[in-house]
């Protein structure tokens, strides 16, 4: 039990740190002259003006997303959870549709166009379903949909881990990039679904214990 808690805390900390790191790098790259954006990104047919808008929304979602899954914040400071949650929804509402537009403007080919467009569409859908569940006070559904939503936002993190891994393995960059455009969000969604099913299984087991004891 203790080992599981330590593993869970370490996993959450790693995601939070990577989210902050990607957000900082993105701000330095696209809002300052300290670091130049990669040429293929700038070659996107719709980079002007959607790229900066997309990055701004993504940074907001990356920074506020991990806070939504900290139980202590939700229980002790519910108002803070609601306000940061609204900020996260705004970030998703900005970065999801602009991400779809940028996906269609990618110069890496149709496979990349579709691969990047899907998580943008799913992010928008999952976030809306999560917001609707919160309004209707279906809080378990709200948590599940928001986890799926952040899995799509977190594809930006996974992609930035897969690209250097592919280079280390000496894969052809363009071929690997086309594959990673799909695997980045598919890996995240699979992990989110595993976490959701595991959580629901534990909840069902906990609810069943009193009944078994009574019997």
Q: Where are the domains of the chain?
A: 2-214
Highest mean pLDDT among 15-19, 77-81, 131-135, 163-167: 131-135
The rounded mean pLDDT for the chain is 88
Report CA-CA distances (Å) from 12 to 31, 106, 129: 28, 32, 23
Read off the pLDDT of residues 83-128 as tens digits, 9 standing for 90 and up: 999 999 999 999 999 999 999 999 989 999 999 999 999 999 999 9
Contact 104, 59 (CB under 8 A): no
Per-residue tokens: 46: 């719709």
Q: What percent of the chain has pLDDT over 70?
A: 89
* Crossing angle of the two packed helices 110-135 and 173-214, in degrees rounded to 10: 30
Q: What is the pLDDT confidence band of residue 5, given thresholds at 50, 70 and 90?
A: low
More confident residue, 30 or 54: 54
- Return the percentage of the chain with pLDDT > 90, whole number: 63
- pTM given for the model: 0.87
Q: Quick check: 7 pLDDT over 70?
A: no
Measure Cα distances from 27 to 62, 65, 82 in Å. Answer: 12, 17, 25
């Amino acid at each position: 039990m203790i080992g599981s808690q330590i593993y869970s805390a370490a996993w959450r900390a790693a995601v939070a740190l990577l989210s902050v790191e990607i957000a900082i790098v993105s701000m330095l790259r696209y809002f300052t002259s300290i670091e130049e954006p990669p040429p293929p990104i700038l070659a996107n047919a719709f980079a002007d003006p959607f790229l900066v808008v997309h990055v701004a929304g993504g940074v907001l979602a990356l920074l506020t997303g991990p806070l939504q899954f900290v139980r202590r914040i939700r229980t002790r400071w519910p108002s803070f959870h609601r306000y940061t949650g609204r900020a996260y929804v705004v970030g998703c509402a900005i970065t999801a549709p602009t991400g779809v537009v940028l996906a269609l403007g990618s110069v890496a080919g149709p496979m990349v166009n579709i691969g990047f467009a899907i998580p943008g569409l799913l992010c928008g859908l999952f976030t809306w379903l999560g917001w609707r569940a919160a309004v209707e006070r279906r809080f378990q559904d709200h948590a599940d949909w928001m986890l799926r939503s952040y899995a799509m936002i977190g594809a930006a993190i996974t992609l930035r881990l897969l690209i250097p891994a592919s280079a280390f393995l000496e894969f052809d960059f363009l071929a690997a990039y086309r594959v990673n455009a799909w695997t980045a969000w598919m890996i995240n969604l699979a992990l989110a679904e595993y976490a959701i099913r595991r959580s629901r299984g534990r909840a069902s087991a906990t609810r069943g214990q009193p009944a078994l004891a009574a019997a």
